Amino acid sequence: MTGIRANLSGALLLSLLAGCVPVSADNGRFLVYFNEFSANLTPAARTVLADAARQARETGTRMLRIEARASATGSPEANRRLAEMRSQVVADELRADGVSPAMLRQVPIGQTGSGDPSVAERRVDVVLER
């Protein structure tokens, strides 16, 4: 029974992450996770981006670096485009939250990781640079 519980716990964690559950960190780095082959933001992701915009205003951040990634599932070219789309979606949302376009630096990294379609590689990091 313990093995089943562990598998269910792991499955629940992965489903939460794959469901675009974003993470906000106190170190000026905000993480937003995406479903595989998706560049759509969830309401929770929008909340994290609003928090990033608010913190940027309150701390006098000079630049927000948007680092977009895609897992190694699919072709490198498709993953590069997906990272670009994720970067653009996040930049658009930050602008909607009042961040000046001049403060945004998009860095679509593209495909990262091995062939594991892990949610950890399907993300955008918003890094506040002071």
Instruction: Please give the domain boundaries of the chain with CATH numbers for all domains.
Output: 2-129 (3.30.1330.60)
Q: What is the pLDDT of residue 121?
A: 83
Alpha helices in 60-126, H assignment, sequence order: 76-96
Place of tokens 């950890």: 120
For the segment 90-101, the average pLDDT, to the nearest whole number, is 97
Summarised one tens digit per residue, pLDDT across range 5-53 is 444 344 334 444 444 444 445 589 999 988 888 999 988 899 999 999 9
Q: What is the pLDDT of residue 120?
A: 77
For residue 125, the cross-strand partners are 31, 67
On whether the CB atoms of residues 56 and 128 are closer than 8 A, the answer is yes
Higher pLDDT, residue 22 or 93: 93
What the block records as the tokens of 67 is 């680092």
In whole angstroms, give the CA distance from residue 43 to residue 41. Answer: 7
For the segment 88-114, the average pLDDT, to the nearest whole number, is 93
Place of tokens 């998706």: 38
Q: Say whether 34 sits in a helix, a strand or coil.
A: coil
Average pLDDT in the chain: 81
Q: What is the pLDDT of residue 5?
A: 44
Indicate the range of 24-28, 37-41, 105-109, 123-127 predicted with least confidence. 24-28
Residue 34, amino acid: F
Q: What is the pLDDT of residue 35?
A: 85
Q: What is the pLDDT of residue 84?
A: 95
Q: What is the pLDDT of residue 112?
A: 81
On whether the CB atoms of residues 123 and 33 are closer than 8 A, the answer is yes
